[in-house]
Chains A and B, each alone.
Chain A
Amino acid sequence: MNALAAVGAVVQVGGVLAGAPFVVGGMKQVRARLEGRSGGGIGQPWRDLRKQLRKQQLRPTGTTVVFRVAPAVAAGSALLIAAIIPLVTLGSPLDSSADLFGVVGLLFLGTVALTLAGLDTGTAFGGMGSSREITIAALVEPTILLAVFALSLPGHSANLAAIVSAASGDPAQALALGSVLAFVALVIVIVAETGRLPVDNPSTHLELTMIHEAMVLEYSGPRLALVEWASGMRLTVLLGLLANLFLPWGIAGAEPSLLGLLVGTAAIAVKVAVLALALAAVEVFIAKLRLFRVPELLAGSFLLALLAVTASSFLASAR
């Protein structure tokens, strides 16, 4: 590890911080254009965040410290994931802890913090949103673990940098049966985890159909900005992780050069942008699933992940 690797980690965190609102804005813009609208522009989430940061902080009656710290925990866990996973470079100073179990745990930490905050408000919608969110999270987390486990079999390591470097050493691996199954499973769980269609509608105004929004209905001002920023950052880091696990082209090595860092940054920006725009374009064609059918979708993705593990382990032992 050299000094530039540390710079790479800083670039990852800064890029996710600055880029997440643009990812969300770009997805909204694609949707608006496909609906025949002209849209608020990709800078609109940034304008909203900037304005929320200047607004009054209302503290709902009866809420405790759980409600107050949850946005910071959610945003902090997303930033920590951004620092440890291989986005720009494989040589993050925190690489030794970039274990897939650690990353899934951090993701779950952010989810649980907001869930408890939803319960803490004591409102009907807060509790309802929390119960739905935790139902989905409980089905999503095992699938993420299994899918990344399937990917870790060829690299013989659960370390994310090792998985990514194994994939970049053998590009044909991305088309192996296990990888393709794991990719589909991961796409479904990322859609569920970040509250996109068909699991949750991020732009709904109907409280009864909300999942993520229902938990955060009581937040206002700077804390609301932090919650929205955190959900954008989760989406960005998960898309970045998805891109690099399967197509690690352009990522800087464990001992990056300055040019390598620049190429790595440009590559991950392009990959996340393409994935986000594709996701937004597909969302236009699908409707939200009824809540009781969401577990069927997630069970399907769990099955795919299980098949991916089976396929990878058989193929690995056949070699």
Chain B
Amino acid sequence: MSWIGAIRRAGRIVEPAPEAPADPMTPPTGLVGSLQLRHVDCGSCNGCEIEIGGAFSAVYDAERFGARLVASPRHADGILATGVVTRNMHDPLLNTLAAVPQPRVVIAVGDCAVDGGVFRGGYGVVGSVADVVPVDVEVPGCPPTPAQIVAALRSVTGR
């Protein structure tokens, strides 16, 4: 029964929602409020993954804006790509994107995904995500804060 007490004491952990995005992009399907994403780690140091975990945690709760991470690219409306694209992850990234049904978006999270970051020009590196697939939304930062990631997701869900 101590769990019921814990639930009552914790109450609502979630932070109040900031203002809705001023100029959201047109959602891929033309319908606001629903966005399923498949996360692809193209060669990240896992710093961005921790912040993405934070964005979907109880504190930032990206799910209240209609965004959700899913287990299959076929269930998704887009990819959430983190890290610089390494040679080993180049083909898997293309295959994953091909498995996402149209219309779809690509969101690049973190400096490495946006422009290569500190790994730019490395011998095992193909390039940034935009060098491989067309990117619709970029979230700069090393790593970006959960609030920045949530704001980027809201600019796509429109909620």
Is the CB–CB distance between A38 and B64 below 8 Å?
A: yes
Given the complex of chains A and B, what is the CA–CA distance between A224 and B30 in angstroms? 19
Question: What would 12 A/B residue contacts be, using CB atoms closer than 8 Å?
Answer: A36-B7, A36-B12, A38-B12, A41-B64, A50-B31, A50-B34, A55-B77, A60-B74, A210-B71, A213-B71, A217-B71, A220-B101
* A-B pairs with beta carbons under 8 A, tally: 90
Is the CB–CB distance between A47 and B34 below 8 Å?
A: yes
The contact string, 1 if C-beta is below 8 Å from chain A, for chain B 38-79, is: 000000000000000000001001011110111110110100
The contact string, 1 if C-beta is below 8 Å from chain A, for chain B 59-103, is: 001011110111110110100000000000000000000010111
- Closest B-chain residue to A224, C-beta based? B75
Q: What residues of chain A lie closer than 8 Å to B10, measured between beta carbons?
A: 36
A: residues with CB less than 8 A from B are 32-41, 44, 47-48, 50-51, 54-58, 60, 204-207, 210, 213, 217-221, 224, 284-285
Q: What residues of chain B lie closer than 8 Å to A284, measured between beta carbons?
A: 7
Is the CB–CB distance between B7 and A51 below 8 Å?
A: no
Additional 17 contacts, C-beta under 8 A, given A34-B7, A38-B14, A51-B77: A35-B58, A36-B10, A36-B12, A37-B12, A37-B58, A37-B63, A38-B12, A44-B33, A44-B34, A47-B33, A50-B34, A55-B102, A56-B101, A56-B103, A204-B71, A217-B74, A285-B3
**Within 8 Å of chain A (Cβ to Cβ): is B18?**
no
Given the complex of chains A and B, what is the CA–CA distance between A164 and B100 in angstroms? 47
Q: What residues of chain A lie closer than 8 Å to B128, measured between beta carbons?
A: none
Interface of chain B residues 15 through 47 with chain A (CB within 8 A): 17, 29-31, 33-34, 36
Is the CB–CB distance between A220 and B14 below 8 Å?
A: no
Given the complex of chains A and B, what is the CA–CA distance between A279 and B103 in angstroms? 36
B: residues with CB less than 8 A from A are 3, 7, 10-14, 17, 29-31, 33-34, 36, 58, 61, 63-66, 68-72, 74-75, 77, 99, 101-103
Is the CB–CB distance between B29 and A55 below 8 Å?
A: yes
Q: What residues of chain B lie closer than 8 Å to A39, measured between beta carbons?
A: 61, 63-64
Is the CB–CB distance between B70 and A205 below 8 Å?
A: yes
Interface of A, helix, strand, loop or mixed by DSSP: loop
Given the complex of chains A and B, what is the CA–CA distance between A242 and B13 in angstroms? 35
Given contacts A37-B64, A217-B74, contact A57 B101 (CB under 8 A): yes
Given the complex of chains A and B, what is the CA–CA distance between A106 and B65 in angstroms? 37
Min distance, Cβ A2 to any Cβ of chain B, angstroms: 42
Min distance, Cβ A130 to any Cβ of chain B, angstroms: 15
Is the CB–CB distance between B14 and A48 below 8 Å?
A: no
Of the listed residues B14, B36, B74, the one surrounded by the most CB atoms of chain A closer than 10 A to its CB is B74
Is the CB–CB distance between B102 and A37 below 8 Å?
A: no
Min distance, Cβ B46 to any Cβ of chain A, angstroms: 16
Given the complex of chains A and B, what is the CA–CA distance between A285 and B74 in angstroms? 31
CB-contact partner of A58 in B3, B14, B69, B99, under 8 A: B99
Given the complex of chains A and B, what is the CA–CA distance between A133 and B131 in angstroms? 42
Given the complex of chains A and B, what is the CA–CA distance between A139 and B99 in angstroms? 35
Q: What residues of chain A lie closer than 8 Å to B12, measured between beta carbons?
A: 33, 36-38
Min distance, Cβ B25 to any Cβ of chain A, angstroms: 15
Q: What residues of chain A lie closer than 8 Å to B7, measured between beta carbons?
A: 34, 36, 284
Q: What residues of chain B lie closer than 8 Å to A34, measured between beta carbons?
A: 7
CB-contact partner of A219 in B11, B34, B74, under 8 A: B74
Is the CB–CB distance between A36 and B101 below 8 Å?
A: no
Given contacts A34-B7, A37-B14, A50-B31, contact A58 B74 (CB under 8 A): yes
Q: What residues of chain B lie closer than 8 Å to A206, measured between beta carbons?
A: 71
Q: What residues of chain A lie closer than 8 Å to B74, measured between beta carbons?
A: 58, 60, 217-220, 224
- Closest A-chain residue to B39, C-beta based? A205
Given the complex of chains A and B, what is the CA–CA distance between A205 and B71 in angstroms? 5
